[in-house]
């Protein structure tokens, strides 16, 4: 297989959005409890924050973390998670059929996020609650002091040894997946649009500096996709800054070729939402620009698996932090995750926020066991490298690639890539995947005058020697899949060339 890629310094997409490398912590399964928080674990600090997990989070490098849900947030009372821990109520979480102890709440998350050096993206409950609770939460979080809610924050911080200072949360989600019939407090687009508009208005009256995300469709297959965005934005366009997108992908019936091409779906999904935003903008004669927050995306084996940890099988009784959707990710999944990140970068002019769902244990790049170890899944690697190395401008890339056939999308490019160029640092980085299941790919990149004289690093994630494309990093084989040096790579006469193994994802950095 061959592919010729071309960049030109005159053709850029956008500056790499800082918030494109986000993640998500939901009160679901073992993401919070025994994930980021486990008092009594040998690696936990005095606050119960697992430091082994914290170290992996820092290495993964998310820039922003969405919290506390997810479906969970649509039945959540944020007040239950603040104040002395012994006074917090134990509640039923209907979304995940779980007992929520509220031992971890907003103050704990703020302290955790500060230590992890991530921005907070806070979701409010617009399922069972509304305008009053939303504006109270913004006052609690961001107002300096001297009012009921801000002084309660200071008091609760003092009582629990957590932060008392304003949390300074800039980014807020106006609910979660309210287009979905499964959602607690599911609404029509008009019902949601009006509630979101009024909540947004009231929240911005408390803190005019916040940025707001309206709920978009839960996925592209929703029967209301398109009309939902149109109606919601028709109500909220002037009040909100972003509309959300969610998408999960999986391999169906062993059709790896289609699965490896799912970034084609993501590209089309984003283009569709951009068109809808712009249609509402034009019809409403708005001058401001609403952008996209792709605040849930990942590989998730939602069907075809009959394992104990699937949500529909958890209704065996009410448990605290049961195992839920702890997908074990393999080599194929890592290549797909790489290409999904390429898609997000390609659309960096309109997708300004993106959150991989989720951070620990629950469909996550990081796994941890209760009273046990923490480790990196295969999908950790493309995320960590792209989050660390994608800087400066996203370059428009001309791709002339041999094609691979797929059942779902017809013929698609065998090679999928994206390039960033940080002029100040003099660094150009190519992120590249070979979707071919059998054949290696000879790839060259014509730099067209962009200054680069040396290859400073070249790595590839591929099928390991003693494994196959389904090999995963499990508790007893934590490093089975990872990045290895890419040796078959050279730079000559303004051209970078390399050979990528079959079904692989790579990153090459030039100085
Ligand atoms: O990330 C898991 C779940 O997927 C979230 O709670 C929900 O928003 C989505 O359906």
Q: Are 380 and 60 in contact (CB under 8 A)?
A: yes
Query: Which ipTM value was assigned to this complex?
Result: 0.99
User: Among 3.20.20.80, 3.40.50.11540, 1.10.220.70, 2.60.120.620, what is the CATH number of 18-389?
Assistant: 3.20.20.80
Q: Are 469 and 256 in contact (CB under 8 A)?
A: yes
What is the whole-number distance in angstroms between the Cα of residue 264 and the centre of ligand 1?
Answer: 22
What CA–CA distance (Å, rounded) separates 480 from 473? 5
36 φψ region: left (φ > 0), alpha (ψ -120 to 50), beta (else) = alpha
Q: Determine the atom of ligand 1 nearest the C-alpha atom of 298.
A: 1
176 lines ligand 1 (CB under 6 A): yes
* Fold held by 2-9+395-510: Immunoglobulin-like (2.60.40)
98 lines ligand 1 (CB under 6 A): no
pTM: 0.97
327 lines ligand 1 (CB under 6 A): no
295 lines ligand 1 (CB under 6 A): no
Question: What amino acid positions are annotated as catalytic residues?
Answer: 177, 296
What is the whole-number distance in angstroms between the Cα of residue 273 and the centre of ligand 1?
Answer: 20
- The proportion of the chain whose per-residue pLDDT surpasses 90, expressed as a percent, equals 95
Residue nearest to atom 9 of ligand 1 (CA): 70
In 195-324 the beta strands, taken as DSSP E runs, fall at 211-214, 242-249, 291-299, 319-320
Per the DSSP assignment, residues forming a β-bridge with 206 are none
Q: Are 510 and 452 in contact (CB under 8 A)?
A: yes
Q: Determine the atom of ligand 1 nearest the C-alpha atom of 182.
A: 10
What is the whole-number distance in angstroms between the Cα of residue 392 and the centre of ligand 1?
Answer: 31
Looking at residue 302, its pLDDT comes to 84
Per-residue pLDDT tens over the stretch 87-137: 999 999 999 999 999 999 999 999 999 999 999 999 999 999 999 999 999
Per-residue pLDDT tens over the stretch 456-500: 999 999 999 999 999 999 999 999 999 999 999 999 988 999 999
175 lines ligand 1 (CB under 6 A): no
Strand order in the sheet with 319-320: 91-93, 98-100, 319-320
Per the DSSP assignment, residues forming a β-bridge with 378 are none
Which of 76, 176, 213 for a ligand 1 pocket mutation test, highest count of atoms within 8 Å of Cβ? Answer: 176
Burial class of 170 by CB neighbour count within 10 A (0 to 12, 13 to 18, 19+): middle
Going by C-beta distance under 8 Å and a sequence separation of 6 or more, which residues neighbour residue 465? none
Q: Where are the domains of the chain?
A: 2-9+395-510, 18-389
Mean pLDDT of 211-225: 97
Q: Determine the atom of ligand 1 nearest the C-alpha atom of 72.
A: 6
Residue nearest to atom 3 of ligand 1 (CA): 70
């Amino acid at each position: 297989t061959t592919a010729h890629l071309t960049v030109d310094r005159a053709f850029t997409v956008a500056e790499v959005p800082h918030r494109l490398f986000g993640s998500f912590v939901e009160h679901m399964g073992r993401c919070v409890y025994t994930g980021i928080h486990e008092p009594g674990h040998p690696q936990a600090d005095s606050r119960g924050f697992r430091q082994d997990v914290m170290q992996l989070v820092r290495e993964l490098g998310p820039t922003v973390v969405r919290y506390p849900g997810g479906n969970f947030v649509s039945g959540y009372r944020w007040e239950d998670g603040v104040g002395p821990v012994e006074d917090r109520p134990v509640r039923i979480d209907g979304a995940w059929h779980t007992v929520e102890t509220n031992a971890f709440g907003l103050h704990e998350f703020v302290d955790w996020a500060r230590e992890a050096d991530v921005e907070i993206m806070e979701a409010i409950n617009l399922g069972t609650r509304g305008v009053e609770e939303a504006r109270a939460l913004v006052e609690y979080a961001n107002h300096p002091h001297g009012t009921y809610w801000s002084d309660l924050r200071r008091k609760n911080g003092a009582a629990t040894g957590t932060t008392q200072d304003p949390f300074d949360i800039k980014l807020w989600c106006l609910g979660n997946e309210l287009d979905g019939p499964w959602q607690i407090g599911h609404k029509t687009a008009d019902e949601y649009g009006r509630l979101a508009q009024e909540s947004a208005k009231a929240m911005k009256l408390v803190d005019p500096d916040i940025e707001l995300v309206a709920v978009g469709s839960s996925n592209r297959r929703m029967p209301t996709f398109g009309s939902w965005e149109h109606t919601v934005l028709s109500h909220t366009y002037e009040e909100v800054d972003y509309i959300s997108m969610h998408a999960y992908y999986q391999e169906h019936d062993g059709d790896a070729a289609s699965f490896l091409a799912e970034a084609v779906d993501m590209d089309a999904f984003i283009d569709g939402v951009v068109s809808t935003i712009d249609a509402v903008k034009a019809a409403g004669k708005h001058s401001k620009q609403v952008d996209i927050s792709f605040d849930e995306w990942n590989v998730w084996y939602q069907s075809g698996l009959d394992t104990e940890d699937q949500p529909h099988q958890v209704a065996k009784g009410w448990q605290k932090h049961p195992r839920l959707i702890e997908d074990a990710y393999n080599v194929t999944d890592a290549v797909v995750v790489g290409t999904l990140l390429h898609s997000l970068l390609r659309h960096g002019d309109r997708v300004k926020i993106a959150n991989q769902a989720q951070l620990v244990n629950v469909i996550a790049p990081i796994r941890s066991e209760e009273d046990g170890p923490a480790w990196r899944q295969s999908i950790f690697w493309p995320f960590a490298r792209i989050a660390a190395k994608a800087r400066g401008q996203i370059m428009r890339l001309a791709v002339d690639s041999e094609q691979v056939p797929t059942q779902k999308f017809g013929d698609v490019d065998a090679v999928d890539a994206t390039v960033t160029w940080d002029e100040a640092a003099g660094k150009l980085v190519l992120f590249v995947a070979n979707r071919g299941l059998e054949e290696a790919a000879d790839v060259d990149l014509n730099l067209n005058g962009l200054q680069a004289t040396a290859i400073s690093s070249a790595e590839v994630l591929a099928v390991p020697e003693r494994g196959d494309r389904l090999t995963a990093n499990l508790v007893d084989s934590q490093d089975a899949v990872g990045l290895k040096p890419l040796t078959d790579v050279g730079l000559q006469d303004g051209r970078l060339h390399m050979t990528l193994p079959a079904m692989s994802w790579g990153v090459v950095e030039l100085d």
